[in-house]
Amino acid sequence: MPQNLIINDTTLRDGEQTAGVAFTVDEKCAIACALSAAGVPEMEIGIPAMGDEEIDCINTLAALELPAALMVWGRLTDADLASALRCQVDIVHLSIPVSDIHLQHKLNQSRQWVLTQVSRVIGQAMSSGRKISLGLEDASRADADFLALVARRAQACGASRIRFADTLGVLDPFTTYEALARLRDAVDIEIEIHSHNDLGLATANTLAALRAGATHANTTVNGLGERAGNAALEEVVMGVRHLHRADTGVDTQALMPISRLVARASGRQVAFNKSIVGEAVFTHESGIHIDGLLKNAATYESFDPSELGRQRRTVLGKHSGSQAVRQAYGLLGVVLDDDALTARLLARIRDHAMRVKQEASPAELQRFLLESVVMPPLRTSGWSASA
């Protein structure tokens, strides 16, 4: 993994391009402040070519004087460059299609036009004194030799970075690694990976690109973004931490609060089973799993939930076992030391889960116990239930 690995979060640009999502200025400020406080070193915060209102919002974010470097996105055109230079940001990112399908069917232009445009517009941009990044749109479907040629031209013109965009999310980790390794051999400037999640591989492809020599990773909180979204900030941070034993500098304790903040602002709730930040991530029901967790948490958790400021939770249901039943009743102050009674309670709990599709409440657990044995209501926390 590169020693200078940098997260460039694009929640406020590509994340906002999620269909139907629009952040207010106050929401953008809150998200930017939260990301910066968590240690995210770079943020892509808007598209100046959208007009004066967008530029005003970008400059409002810049006026916060956050320690994070700020980037804006535009097309590799004179007009978009002019709009970008009205923003008080550190990095200007200018994007151009590089695949033949985009050039022929979207722009009706040639490969030579791309090279000419790179030389002309990047040359103009460099005179501004800003750091310039060139985006290679649809790089994953471009000819590899032409891609390397464009990247070398950008470096020769003074660009500090190129962005490899898997615009349609069509790569897997193996092809991503090969493509980024070739690009790494072609230039010695910064390389940013921008992965989309159409096939559910955005995070895996981002990690593969970093291993191949990419220095920067585009992410979005909760994986927001066009269509199926982008590589999720929380997944990339934790993947780098646990799979590659490297550090992004992002505070993992901040990932859950930021996730909730962005979910509220975007109106896009996090799926129950979403990795890292989903409600179910540290929730266990299976009897085998709970038995293992009670003996050693590492048996069924790859990392401690406390890294995220979270706690594990056990749920009683169809797949629960005796250990989970004893643990649940122990939390109610009841010691179950009779195997036959425990088995009867387990049967009741499984039947309840099948009928109502949810976990039994503490009151229901007490009722199951009272219906299973003839004795007075529970009164003391140290009471032991035996047949």
Q: What are phi and psi of 385, to 5 degrees?
A: -95, 125
**Distance, CA of 134 to CA of 369 (rounded, Å):** 67
DSSP of 354-368: HHHSSPPPHHHHHHH
- Residues 322, 267: contact at Cβ < 8 Å? no
Give, in order, the Cα–Cα distances in Å from 71 to each of 5, 58, 367: 17, 9, 59
Q: What confidence score (pLDDT) does residue 291 get?
A: 73
**Distance, CA of 310 to CA of 96 (rounded, Å):** 42
Q: What confidence score (pLDDT) does residue 380 get?
A: 41
Residue stretches of the chain with pLDDT short of 70: 1-3, 285, 374-387
Q: What confidence score (pLDDT) does residue 295 get?
A: 83
DSSP class of residue 297 equals G
- From 87, 80, 93, select the one nearest 132 (Cα to Cα): 93
Q: What are phi and psi of 160, to 5 degrees?
A: -90, -15
**61-91 per-position pLDDT tens digit:** 999 999 999 999 999 999 999 999 999 999 9
Q: CA torsion angle for 48, 51, 54, 60 (degrees, to 10)?
A: 90
Q: Which residues of 304-329 are buried (b: 16+ CB within 10 A; e: fewer)?
A: eeeebebebebbbbebbbbbbbbbbb
- From 135, 117, 129, select the one nearest 216 (Cα to Cα): 135
The number of helix segments (H) and strand segments (E) in the chain equals 15, 12
Strands 283-284 and 91-97 turn out to be unpaired
| Contacts for 127 with CB less than 8 Å, ≥ 6 apart | none
Tabulate helix, strand, coil % of the chain (nearest 5). Answer: 50, 15, 35
DSSP of 178-213: HHHHHHHHH--SEEEEEEB-TTS-HHHHHHHHHHHT
Give, in order, the Cα–Cα distances in Å from 136 to each of 47, 99, 233, 371: 17, 9, 21, 68
Q: What confidence score (pLDDT) does residue 83 get?
A: 98
Q: State both tokens at 213.
A: 């020599």
pTM, full prediction: 0.87
**Distance, CA of 72 to CA of 175 (rounded, Å):** 29
**Strand, coil or helix: 171:** coil
**Distance, CA of 68 to CA of 43 (rounded, Å):** 7
**Strand, coil or helix: 284:** strand
